[in-house]
Structure formats: structure tokens, C-alpha cells
Chain A
Amino acid sequence: MTAAKLEVQNVTKIFGGLTAVRDFSIVVETGQLQGLIGPNGAGKTTCFNLLTGVYRPDAGKILLNGKRIDGRRPSSITSSGIARTFQNIRLFRDLTVLDNVRVACHLRARHTLVGALLRLPNHYRDEAHIRAHSIRLLERFGLLDRSEELAGNLPYGDQRRLEIARALATDPKILLLDEPAAGMNPAEKIALKELIRQLLKDFPVGILLIEHDMDVVMDLCDRITVLDYGQIIATGKPEEIQCDEKVIEAYLGCPAHSVEEAVQKDLERGTDV
């Protein structure tokens, strides 16, 4: 297994008059778990959309293992090894849980359309392989007993986990998680933290995590980048971030004495989906 490296160099994205992201740079490597935080509207999700090709950067470069991926289609970026989850859950609601994951295994299939229509041997081989892989993933995420249910009927927490399972099914080198804990209850959050830690051990990925829940972020991440009004205002270890004046100011809108208040305010703002 060769290590993968995602390099983002001075990426900027402008919507009309609004600079949603300015001069954003970050490096994520296999085995790392980095956090991306910031107040609402700071540009975090826009960063993910830039990394996955939903938006094209107005300036800057994005490289995966030294190869430029900015400007490519989202599907092509996924096939080169970046997968994501969505803040406002985007499951295939009318498909079963199993099919959600199987769609994401799509890139593993080698057979052509003709192979599928004539039911050639390679169709059966691929399908069996995809099914087995999907079931393994679902089992790992504790979703196997719901595999025949429609994804839209799952409880919220399960939907969030299914999103992660689905993203992993694309065999990513870099995994982008957009607020995976949003809407989860405390028990689910604890389980999620454990799950993400375990993922890092079992899969050869680097993870970039957007999360409003400071508890989750501070616990999990080796390194945190803080965005405010589209710009990086701080980056460092969780301890460093917690005491950073600029960060506290950004969160409270005025200088403050403790991060606890910032955290509290953020929690009150609740889940923004």
C-alpha cells in the first residue's frame, strides 16, 4: 500500500461578489485525521465541494499524489480516490440500504453494458464480488440487518453511518466527512467517534472531518484547520486551537475567556442541515 497525499494549494472560490473560500491550503495524508472547523457559513462545505469537483476553483491547485485533479468531473475525482459524505444527507432514498452501497461499488465493475444485458460470466463475477463487498461493509457498520430497507426509512443516525459506508465503498484514499455527527444523540456520537478511529486503523485512508461538535473534533483530530469568512485563521494541534485568540474571537464574535462558551454557543445553534 502506497501512502496517498492530497495537497490543496491556495484555492479560491468566488460566488458572485462573495469570496466563499480564499487562499485555502491544506495537506492530508494517509493515516491522518484532520479537522476542518469554523462558524456557520465559513466555507467548509465549499472546500469539500471544491475538492470533489462539484465546484471548479477560481484560483489555486488541487493535487492527489502529485497529479492535478481540479477541473475534473466529480465522478472522475472519485475514481482517482477521493470520497465524501454530505452535510445534508444525500442518500439514494428510494433504493435499499444494500443498493446504496452497491451503487458506490460501481467502479469495481469491469463488465460492459452488453455484458450485463447478455448476462455474460463477467457480469455474474462482478455482481457477486460487489455484493460480497457491500455486505462486508454493511456488517462493519452494523447495518446488515437493515440491508433490504429503503435508505430513506432509516433513522437519522443510521443514515449518517450509511453515508460513510457508501463513501468507503468507492475505495477512497482520502475520505471527506461533512458533519457526520450532526443530528446524532450523545450515545451515537460516542459510537461514531469509536467508528471513525477504527476506520483509520482498518482502511488505508486519510480523513478530513468537518464537525461542529467540538467534543468530537478535539477528541479525534491530530490536527485542526479553522476557517472564518473563507480564510484560514488558525491551524495546529487541538490544544493549540483551543487557546487560539483568533479562533475564540471568530466563534464568539468578540474576545472571550473560555472556549467552553464557544462550544456552548455552537451547540445551541444546533444542527444546520
Chain B
Amino acid sequence: MIRSIFAPLMVLLIAIGVHGLVGRYDDGYWINQLTIIGIAIILAVSLNIVNGFTGQFSIGHAGFLSLGGYLAGSLLYYGSVMFFQTRPEPGFFSFTQPFDRMDPTIVWWGIGDLFFLCVCLSAGLFAAVAGLIVGLPSLRLRGDYLAIVTVGFGEIVRILIESSQRQVPLSRLNRADGWDLVTGWGSAMGFNYIPKFGSLFWVYLFVGITILTAIRLKYSTHGRAYLSIREDEIAAEAMGVRSTRYKIQAFVISAFFAGIAGALTASSQGTINATELAFMKSLEIVVIVVLGGMGSVSGAVLAAVVLTYLPELLQAETFARYRLILYALVLIFVMILRPRGLMGTREVWDVFRRRRGVQG
């Protein structure tokens, strides 16, 4: 029992710790950076469940990110007024700015925080349903063909959102009907003025949950079934592994966390724009996963940290200009030199134990 609960408790403590420490001392720079890095970790680790564990090739992860982000955005923006008349004030754990800007009357934990948790889970579930739908073609298609379907999915999501109605201003909310709210996803202008709840606490809580899920999956009967499908689907079936079921399961889990990453993006930046979450965003996540290692959770985490913080270290503008070339080069070299990524399926701790492969 203790070992089952210990890791989740650690996740909770770390999330509280990061929030409490970084929020206290800073001007907001690190809050920002760590938020971006955290979200990248969630995206990379969750995509790794599909691409790395089951060996399916999905390049549509930004589609799930968008869906989750927009659902969360509209729930927070429209929903908070509808359910609470006014925006519920974020409590301490949902405070997204440095603490010195905090109102001293702030509550530790309010109804707004619970609301935000529900929003995150809804965003995850919404994306998971989409994951189920995108997962279905994976039953029939392999490799490149499946990749094309996922690219198509990402683009469809982007175009649908871009062709949605304008966002309804809060002042006119009481005159709008339900349909305006459902279709009012901000068109190509993006969805703005989203109440900010996405604090470091929430980001690192979900970072922890995502990593924990991936690791517990990998070192379990179910996760080994995923890996066996990646290795050889025919042999996996011959060993009694129901490959269709597991492939869909992987897509659903992966999409769930991407949806949550979307909710965190929307509510930490206060805005979300599908145009920025197009194919290139999906490719960026693929590059992180490929670099980190197909199937390596710790590899994905490391690669997410490095590739997200690197542009910050180098000069941001110069880097932004050559970013895509750099990503393409990284992808090409990794594919040629180490097709399974820098870490392969191994984890950091496997390397230190000087053993190879998956164990548990």
C-alpha cells in the first residue's frame, strides 16, 4: 500500500514545492520558463506513449493540445461567468504570478481551484475522445500512412477552430445563446482573456502525474504489451496481446494528457491560438520524443527540458529563425545514427545500473 501511495504523494509535494519556491522569490521569469518547460514535458511524455511505447507514428499531437486548450479556455471564460456569475478568484495554489503581487486576503484553496481541476479533467477527456477517434485508423494503417492520418487530424482541428465564430465578449454574454458559446471559439484571432489558473502548482502536478502514469505503465503487464506491439505486432498477437485494444488505449491515454497540457497552456498564458499549434508544433514534440528516445520516459523529460530551454539560452530571435532547420537536422541525424533516439527504450537509471532494456 505504501509504495502505491508514496510516488503520488511525492508528486504532490514536488508540485507544492516548485510553486512555493519559485513563486516566492521571483519577478516572473522563472515562473514563465518553468511553465513552458513543464508543458513541454507533459506533451513529450504523453506522445511517447504512442510513438515510443506502441511504435505507432503520430504527428498530430498539437491537435489534441488545441482541443484541450480551447475547451478549457471556453469553460473558464464562459463557464466561470455562467456558473459563478463572476470569475472565481484563484486561491493560493492557482496563483500564476509572483507572490509579492498577491492580495493578502487570498484563500488557500477555493471553489475556483476545484473548478479549474474539473476544467483540466474535462479538457483531457475531450481530447481523449478525439484520441479514440484518431486511434481507430491505427488498427488498419501502419507507419507512414498512419502518420499522414494524424497530420490530417491536426490540420482539421486547426482549420475547424480557425473557422469558428468570434469570441463573445463577457458584457454581451447574457444576450448570447448556447450556440454562440459553443461555436464562439475565437476564429483565427485565438481565444483570449482566459482566466489564469494555470499556476506552477497545477503544471507540475500534471507533469508528475503524466510521468508517473508513463513509468507505471511501462513497468507493468499492460505497458509491456504496448512495447511488444512496437517490437513485432504479429508476434505480440501470437502471445495473446490484443493489439487493437492496446493501440487505441495508448492513443486515448496520450491524448488525455495532451488535452490537459492544452488546458494548462490556455490558463497559464491567458490565451490560446490554434494557428500557432499547427503541424510545426506537432513536429516539435516528435523531435523531442525522437531525440529523447522512443520509449524512454526520462529521455523524453530530458529532451523536453533541453530543447525548450535551449532557445532561451541562445539568442531567442536568431534561434527562432533557424529553429526549424535545426529541428530537421536533429531529426535526420538521430534517425541515421540512433534510430531509437539517444536513450532508446532505456531510462536514465538503467544506464547507471549498466543494464540494458526494460526491467521492473
Which residues on A are within 8 Å of B, measured CB to CB? 52-54, 73-76, 78-79, 83-84, 86, 90-96, 98-99, 102-107, 109, 111, 113, 116-121, 123, 126-127, 130, 148-150, 166-167, 169-170
Name which residue of chain A comes closest to B340, CB basis. A94
User: Cβ of B237 and Cβ of A78 under 8 Å apart?
Assistant: yes
Name which residue of chain A comes closest to B353, CB basis. A148
B356 partner residues in chain A, CB cutoff 8 A: 96, 148-150
Q: Quote the shortest CB–CB distance from B210 to chain A (angstroms).
A: 12
B87 interface residue per 8 A CB criterion: no
Chain B residues 24-58 with CB under 8 Å of chain A are none
A104 partner residues in chain B, CB cutoff 8 A: 239-240
Which residues on B are within 8 Å of A, measured CB to CB? 1, 3-4, 213, 216-217, 220-225, 227-228, 231-232, 234-244, 249, 340, 344-345, 355-360
Q: Quote the shortest CB–CB distance from B292 to chain A (angstroms).
A: 16
User: Cβ of B239 and Cβ of A116 under 8 Å apart?
Assistant: no
User: Cβ of A106 and Cβ of B225 under 8 Å apart?
Assistant: yes
Cross-chain contact of A94 among B216, B344, B355, B360 (Cβ < 8 A): B344
User: Cβ of A106 and Cβ of B221 under 8 Å apart?
Assistant: yes
Q: Which 10 A-B pairs have the closest CB atoms?
A: A92-B231, A119-B4, A74-B237, A116-B220, A90-B235, A96-B357, A78-B240, A109-B221, A104-B239, A107-B240
A102 and B224 CA atoms in complex are apart in Å by: 8
User: Cβ of A52 and Cβ of B238 under 8 Å apart?
Assistant: yes
User: Cβ of B238 and Cβ of A103 under 8 Å apart?
Assistant: no
- If the complex has contacts A92-B227, A94-B231, A99-B358, are A75 and B222 also in contact, measured as CB distance less than 8 A? no
Cross-chain contact of B239 among A54, A103, A109, A118 (Cβ < 8 A): A103
User: Cβ of B359 and Cβ of A74 under 8 Å apart?
Assistant: no
Residue of A84, A91, A113, A126 most packed against chain B (CB within 10 A):
A113
Name which residue of chain B comes closest to A166, CB basis. B239
* 18 pairs of residues in contact across A and B, judged by CB atoms under 8 Å: A74-B234, A78-B237, A78-B240, A92-B231, A92-B236, A94-B227, A95-B345, A96-B356, A96-B357, A102-B221, A103-B241, A107-B240, A113-B249, A116-B222, A117-B220, A118-B4, A119-B3, A150-B357
A149 partner residues in chain B, CB cutoff 8 A: 356-357
B217 partner residues in chain A, CB cutoff 8 A: 116-117
A99 partner residues in chain B, CB cutoff 8 A: 224, 227, 357-359
Name which residue of chain A comes closest to B356, CB basis. A150
Cross-chain contact of B235 among A73, A86, A107, A109 (Cβ < 8 A): A86
Q: Quote the shortest CB–CB distance from A104 to chain B (angstroms).
A: 4
- If the complex has contacts A79-B240, A117-B217, A170-B240, are A91 and B235 also in contact, measured as CB distance less than 8 A? yes
